[in-house]
Amino acid sequence: MHIAGHIEFSISTVSPEEVVGEMPIQAGILNPYGTTHAGAIVWFADVCASILAFGGSEMVAGASGFPLAINISAALLGNQKQGAFLASSRFVKRGRQVSVVRTAVTGEGGRLIADVTTSHVASK
């Protein structure tokens, strides 16, 4: 069995307090039922949260300080087959050792699709 996918999204806002991204729903992220795969939704939320935790600096392979996720908790509350998702990541706690970020992923009409909380430590 061969399975392939393709995830693509853009980041529209990066500030010290919030990161906002948009992910179009496309064939490469759909599950066999035609809705968006849960893993794609969580991955989208985690990347937005990581950008916030990294402080908006340019991410370069091997750079120290990259925010490694140590915990991810996701409540998947809805789904959709077309359109786009928006993610908004904000700090719950910005710490020196551990930062906690909450990301709300919404769909059409602002409907909550996922509530994702991630904890990050800076790599060395």
Residue 56, pLDDT score: 62
φ/ψ of 13, rounded to 5, equals: -135, 130
Residue 109 domain-assigned (yes or no): yes
Residue 110 domain-assigned (yes or no): yes
Residue whose tokens read 């700090």: 91
Residue 82, pLDDT score: 96
115: containing domain: 10-122
CATH code at position 91:
3.10.129.10
Q: How many C-beta neighbours within 10 Å does residue 121 have? A: 16
CB 119 within 8 A of CB 70: yes
Number of domains in the chain: 1
In whole angstroms, what is the distance from residue 22 CA to residue 40 CA?
Answer: 12
Residue 3 domain-assigned (yes or no): no
Residue 89 domain-assigned (yes or no): yes
Residue 73 domain-assigned (yes or no): yes
Tokens for 17, please give them: 């307090």
Residue 105 domain-assigned (yes or no): yes
Tokens for 71, please give them: 């915990």
Dihedral of CA atoms 29, 37, 62, 122 in degrees, nearest 10, equals 150
Residue 4 domain-assigned (yes or no): no
Q: Tens of pLDDT along 14-62?
A: 999 999 999 999 999 999 999 999 999 999 999 999 999 998 666 677 6
Residue 35 domain-assigned (yes or no): yes
Largest CA distance in the chain: 45
Q: Tens of pLDDT along 64-83?
A: 778 889 999 999 999 999 99
Q: What predicted TM-score, i.e. pTM, was given to this entire model?
A: 0.92
